[in-house]
Amino acid sequence: MTHILFICHGNICRSPMAEFIMKDLVKKAGLDDRVSVSSLAATRDEEGNDMYPPARRKLAQEGIPFAPRAARQMTMEDYEQADLVIGMDEENRRDIMRLTGGDKKHKVHLLMEYTDRSGEVADPWFTGDFDTTFRDVLDGCRGVLKEIIQEKR
């Protein structure tokens, strides 16, 4: 089983969007028995909070199923259990490195590395642009899935 862990600042916008988009893609690819997906926060800022309402609305608008959840900060145990730890931006990567003492097992990546575009997934908490964030997350998740499928062959 491949376990993917998505990380963003508070785990209320980008990383839960990635979690539910990826779960939907994995299910549609018939791989839900071989790939597990979850998301966590790089900080404790939103601990215990559910996904931000505009993020939930965007997923619903796009037909992506989601469930209630509670944000929590990533731990070293989470890092150890994951095969891939995927952050949304450089700040997330720095926070992950701080939480884990460095990426000794080379699991940490940024989501946009899995697309043909460079850069970061902008935080819609600040931009208010959930459409662009959704597009970037969807493209990144498709790239992650493509890589997993190639590795499983």
**Active-site pick, 24, 123, 136, 139:** 123
Where is pLDDT greater, at 150 or 25? 25
Active-site residue flag, 8: yes
CATH number of the domain to which 66 belongs: 3.40.50.2300
Number of domains in the chain: 1
pLDDT, tens digit (0-9, with 9 covering 90-100), for 51-107? 999 999 999 999 999 999 999 999 999 999 999 999 999 999 999 999 999 999 999
Known catalytic membership, residue 14: yes
Active site residue 13: no
Report the pLDDT value the prediction gives residue 153, as an integer from 0 to 100: 59
* Cβ within 8 Å of residue 48, ≥6 positions away: 70, 71, 72
pTM here? 0.97
Task: Provide the 3-class DSSP secondary structure of residue 17.
Answer: helix
| 48: containing domain | 2-152
Q: Which of 14, 56, 78, 95 is catalytic?
A: 14
Percentage, residues of the chain above pLDDT 90: 97
